[in-house]
Amino acid sequence: MPKENTPARKESAPHHHISVEANAYLDGLFQELRRQKAQYLELTQALHSIEARIELAEKTLSLTRDHLSMTISQTDHATPRDWSRVFQDIRFVGVRLADACMALLQEQKKMTPEELLGALNEGMFRFRTNSPQREIHAAMLRQSFAKKSGEQWVWIGKTGQQISMRLRSAAKPTNGLASQETSGE
């Protein structure tokens, strides 16, 4: 059967008359969004890079501190120097917060959170958040060596108790390396 030659009906697209101003405004917003996204990515990468470098520096400094301390204790005639002051300045580098607080409380017997914070800062403890007193409070709540009495933390541990300053464990990698390490690869 022959087809009829009827003109095809054109579906007319709706005519949108977008103003140049509105289009340019949206384009400007989109360009700014893309710029901010790139800046965010760049800053996030820089942050993680610096965090990794800080963790390495912290571990290296604490290892060097411990090695020097051990070497001095085994040396008959160490260079005359006030080694205790040198070690006091870096005594909490890389140490767990609970262990650092335990050492301070054992020495002082009673300390306010502000005093703990000041002593931790003097020993170069690195807090993980912008709320160090919250970190101290959280770390102290789970400990058997101290109790809260009014506004102070009070030492209730054994008098001659030896404190082991355990190193802080690093955060688990998020790129799958943790699973490779545990599976023996």
Inform me whether the pLDDT recorded for 10 exceeds 80. no
Give percent of the chain above pLDDT 70: 75
- Between CA 48 and CA 139, with CA 91 as vertex, the angle to 5 degrees is 65
What is the token pair recorded at 35? 């710029």
The domain limits of the chain are 20-72, 94-155
Closest CA to 117 of 88, 89, 137, 146: 137
User: Is pLDDT above 50 for 16?
Assistant: yes
CA distance 99 to 117: 14
Phi/psi of residue 116, each to 5°? -60, -45
Tell which CATH architecture fits domain 94-155: Orthogonal Bundle (1.10)
Exposure b/e, 115-127, CB count within 10 A at least 16 = b: ebbebbeebbbbe
What pLDDT is attached to residue 5?
A: 63
The confidence score (pLDDT) of residue 6 equals: 59
The 10 Å Cβ neighbour count of residue 104 is 24
Pick from 114, 161, 164, 171: nearest CA to 137: 114
Q: Is the pLDDT of residue 185 over 70?
A: no
Q: What confidence tier does 73 reach under pLDDT thresholds 50, 70, 90?
A: confident
Residue 115 pLDDT class (50, 70, 90 cuts): very high
Whole-model pTM: value is 0.67
Predicted confidence (pLDDT) per residue in 24-61, tens digit: 999 999 999 999 999 999 999 999 999 999 999 999 99
Q: What is the pLDDT of residues 134-152, one digit of tens each?
A: 999 999 988 888 999 999 9
8 A C-beta contact, residue 153 and residue 105: yes
- The per-residue pLDDT for 15 is 61
* pLDDT for 175 beyond 70: no
pLDDT at residue 184 above 60? no
The residues facing 153 across adjacent strands are 111, 148
